[in-house]
Amino acid sequence: GAWPAPVPGIHLRIPVVLPVPGQYQLNATHRRRQRWGLVMILVLAFTAVLAAGLIVLAIEMYIKFAA
């Protein structure tokens, strides 16, 4: 934990500088996969919030009808 936070980012940016097409393509696909991961996380978060809202609504309705 001695390394400062920006070091991993710099370390990840090094392969892009290397003039190897395969490495660049691999890096590009990895970046695309990362973007898809981000999209999936956002979708999952949205779904989770929606589900939580529905559950809370259901509980409130149940309490209202039970009372």
Domain boundaries, the chain: 19-66
Please provide the size of the chain in residues: 67
- Output the six-digit token pair for 19: 């003039």
The pTM for the full model equals 0.43
Long-range contacts of 32-37 (CB under 8 A, 24+ apart): none
Position 1 scores a pLDDT of 47
Cα–Cα distances (Å) from 52 to 21, 38, 41, 57, 67, in that order, read: 46, 21, 16, 9, 22
pLDDT tens, residue order, the chain (67 aa): 454 555 554 555 555 455 555 555 666 666 666 778 888 889 999 999 999 999 999 999 999 998 7
pLDDT of residue 22: 57
